[in-house]
Amino acid sequence: MGSLDAGWISPVAIYLVPLGLMLLLYFQRMRRSEQKAIRALRRSQDTGRDEPVSMHPVINGNRCMGCAACVEACPQGDVLGVIGGQADLVNPSHCIGHGACARSCPTDAIRLVIGSERRGVSVPVLTPDFQTNVPGVFVAGELGGMGLIRNAVEQGRRAIESIRKLPGQGEGDRLDVVIIGAGPAGFSASLTALQHEMRSVTLEQDRLGGSIAHHPRGKIIVMHPVDIPLVGKVDMRETPKEELLEFWERVRRETRLRVRENEPVEAIARAEGEGFVVRTAQGAYETRAVLLAVGRRGTPRKLGVPGEDQSKVVYRLADPRQYQGKRVLVVGGGDSALEAATALAAVDGARVTLSYRGPSFRRAGPGTFEQLEEVQARGRVEVLMSSTVQEIGSDSVVLQTEGGRRDLPNDSVIVCCGGVMPNDFLRKIGVEIETRYGTPIS
């Protein structure tokens, strides 16, 4: 009888032992992942970087089964983690609103929202076809809360498709659409209008690329696979800004797309009868519809302190090399400020100080904070948290710090405090604006 029992037990053991080992390894791996997620969450909380800066996911705990599909799908790699059998945002400030987490969830436990309970985001009120409450005025891209390039490109295309359906298109002497802005959304919209042989004009206050053109030299742009009108599917992934701008320039040449650069819009008014008149310093354009594809920061936000009107004060970093041997103060706590300070740290002879009014860099995105930490550890950048500029002199800057007043020798000041959203411009047109506190996107 004993030999018979052994004969039955042996085959079972052959399967149970490997299975037990696999389960042991699985639970060990899950335990390590959970501990990593807990450390990341605590670090975010300790450094004040526990608030998302853009569109982001919200997890329904009643539906989440902790499968970690969202963790694996996230292109940033460290935004989400599984803690206590439930998915959670462990690095909220790293989220770029990609949306891959929501698409990958097998239980539909994730929804994407704009803003949070603590941090509201002001956006124009839009219909599903991207039209504002003013008939004929449409919005696409960053201004509507969609900063991700892939989303902006898709919105630009879809907005033009909606404009094509408006009555009166192609009739009379008016343009079918005036596209304002030549960033990702405006560029996509312009190509779509060209594809459909619409009568259109694209106006850009600066140059093709919009705000991307002013990113620091060598900045990596997260683009992700995207379908571009007249071009097809493009998969550039993480691309230096110079390569992305070169690609857009090549597309412009090959498609013969016209973009009126350095032509900022001064006013948009109702035309006699129907449509609008878009005015710039160079002329006026009568159009059936207007597509606003501008950024959220229409004009640079100034410090409002004595001495800010000096020529040594600028509001973006154009070329770090011009600051060789200079004493430079960078002001701000977002991506542009940290990137500027990091880029200047690589310039020979530059002495760089970064001043930020807050206690932590909660607005900085993935990578920039770590890069700043690296150059700070090497003594290339002095960081002054909870500090504010009081006065800018010809060869110095007065700062108020936690330790009191500090006079800092200075040759140049770069203010990277974001911009003022063009709310007044929108309200003059009659566009309604709302502030969203964790509102689901449609």
Kindly report the CATH number assigned to the domain that includes residue 408: 3.50.50.60
Query: 356 and 240, same structural domain?
Result: no
Domain boundary among 59, 88, 114: 114
Picking from 114, 144, 171, the residue at the C-terminal end of a domain is 114
What pLDDT score does 1 carry? Answer: 46
Residue 147, pLDDT score? 62
Exposed / middle / buried, residue 232 (Cβ in 10 Å: 0-12, 13-18, 19+): exposed
Same domain membership, residue 144 and residue 76: no
Q: Which of 114, 145, 164 is the last residue of a domain?
A: 114
What is the count of structural domains for the chain?
3
Q: Are residues 285 and 403 in the same domain?
A: no
For residue 287, which of 161, 183, 203 has the smallest C-alpha distance? 203
Residues 105 and 135 in one domain: no
3-class secondary structure, 149: helix
Nearest residue to 201 via CA among 257, 141, 266, 273: 257
Going by C-alpha positions, the residue among 143, 121, 137, 163 that lies closest to residue 430 is: 137
State the pLDDT at residue 441: 72
Contacts of 380 (CB under 8 A, 6+ apart): 345, 346, 352
Measuring CA to CA, which residue among 298, 283, 294, 290 is closest to residue 268? Answer: 290
Instruction: For residue range 69-119, list pLDDT tens digits in order.
Output: 999 888 777 889 999 989 999 888 778 777 888 889 999 999 988 877 777
355: alpha, beta or left, given left = phi > 0 and alpha = psi -120 to 50? beta
335-363 as b/e, with b when 16 or more CB fall inside 10 Å? bbbbbbbbbbbebeebbbbbbbeeebbbb
Q: Which residues contact 229 (CB under 8 A, 6 or more apart)?
A: 157, 188, 191, 192, 194, 195
**pLDDT attached to residue 93:** 75
Predicted local confidence at residue 442, as pLDDT: 60
Q: Are residues 9 and 53 in the same domain?
A: yes
Task: Tell me: do 165 and 22 sit in the same domain.
Answer: no
Helix, strand, coil % (nearest 5) of the chain?
A: 30, 25, 45
164 and 259 fall within a common domain: yes
Query: How many Cβ atoms from other residues are within 10 Å of residue 409's Cβ?
Result: 12
Q: What domain range includes position 176?
A: 122-298+422-440
Residue 122 CA to residue 144 CA, distance in Å, equals 9
pLDDT of residue 19: 75
d(CA 111, CA 56): 8
Task: Report residues of the chain scoring pLDDT below 50.
Answer: 1-2
Asked whether residue 338 falls in the same domain as residue 271, the answer is no
Instruction: For residues 357 and 163, give the distance between their C-alpha atoms in angstroms, rounded to a whole number.
Output: 44
User: Which residue is it, tokens 């504010």?
Assistant: 388
> What's the N-to-C CA distance of the chain in angstroms?
69
User: Between vectors from CA 236 to CA 230 and to CA 240, what angle results, nearest 5°?
Assistant: 115
Residue-wise DSSP of 24-72: HHHHHHHHHHHHHHHHHHHHHHHTT--S--SSEEEE-TTT-----HHHH
Tell me if the pTM is above 0.85.
Answer: no
Domain shared by 347 and 257, yes or no: no
Which of 76, 244, 285, 214 lies closest to 153 in space, CA to CA?
244
> What is the rounded CA–CA span in Å between residue 209 and residue 181?
9
Q: Which amino acid is at 411?
A: D
Q: Are residues 285 and 370 in the same domain?
A: no
Are the C-beta atoms of residues 163 and 291 closer than 8 Å to each other?
yes
Asked if residues 222 and 96 have their Cβ atoms less than 8 Å apart, the reply is yes
Pair 183, 67 in one domain = no
Q: Which is nearest to 382 in space by CA: 359, 351, 405, 339? A: 351
The enclosing domain of 33 has a CATH number of: 3.30.70.20
Whether residues 292 and 354 share a domain: the answer is: no
Q: Which two tokens stand for residue 42?
A: 């605590």
Neighbour count for residue 243 (Cβ, 10 Å): 13
**pLDDT, position 162:** 95
pLDDT tens for 130-140 read: 999 999 999 99
